[in-house]
Amino acid sequence: PYVGASEYENQGERVVAGQRLMQAASDIFLGWQRVDGIDGRRRDFYIRQLRDWKGIAQPELMVPRGMRAFGEVCGTTLARAHARSGDRIAIAGYLGRGDVFDRALTTFAESYADQNERDHQALVKAVKDGRVTAAQTEPDSS
């Protein structure tokens, strides 16, 4: 209700358009379909290949140096996706030449990290107090 009607008739198509905008190379099987379910309701879906056979990062196995490199790649990828999905000149104009945005982002990241640490401490305490059951597992090697 806040942004008006979608330019897409099918919500699956909307998702696919967003993916294609943000990804340098999309899944060749990416598509959309509208289907009537067994309950009689019509639903929109987006379709992609089942297995892409690409590797997947396993942060739990990374040493700090690898985690940092992974974080940099993720940040660069996210920045690129946002840059492709928006008007770069308008974004640059909005951000301005100063460091206000940089400082705000740093403050948010530090606050978020602090919250993660508090959440982890609360989880550890809950396990210790017996309110939550936890089990350590070996990383999946597949």
For the segment 86-113, what is each residue's pLDDT rounded down to a tens digit?
Answer: 777 888 888 888 999 999 999 999 999 9
Q: What does the pLDDT read at residue 42?
A: 94
Q: What does the pLDDT read at residue 142?
A: 47
For the segment 7-50, what is each residue's pLDDT rounded down to a tens digit?
Answer: 999 999 999 988 888 777 777 788 999 999 899 999 999 988 76
Asked if 10 and 44 count as a contact pair (C-beta separation under 8 A), the reply is yes
What is the dihedral sign for C-alpha 95, 100, 101, 102?
positive
| Residue 8 Cα to chain centre, angstroms | 22
Q: What does the pLDDT read at residue 56?
A: 77
Cα(43)–Cα(35) distance, rounded to whole angstroms? 5
| Residue 119 Cα to chain centre, angstroms | 21
Backbone angle region of 11, left / alpha / beta, with phi > 0 → left and psi within -120 to 50 → alpha: alpha
Q: What does the pLDDT read at residue 12?
A: 93
Asked if 32 and 16 count as a contact pair (C-beta separation under 8 A), the reply is yes
Domain boundaries defined on the chain:
11-47, 59-128
Cα–Cα–Cα angle for 66, 125, 110, nearest 5°? 45
CA-atom Rg of the chain in angstroms:
21
Cα(47)–Cα(32) distance, rounded to whole angstroms? 5
For the segment 110-126, what is each residue's pLDDT rounded down to a tens digit?
Answer: 999 999 999 999 999 99
Residue 51 has pLDDT above 60, yes or no: yes
Q: For the residues 123-130, what does the mean pLDDT come to?
A: 95
Asked if 33 and 15 count as a contact pair (C-beta separation under 8 A), the reply is no
Average per-residue pLDDT for the chain? 86
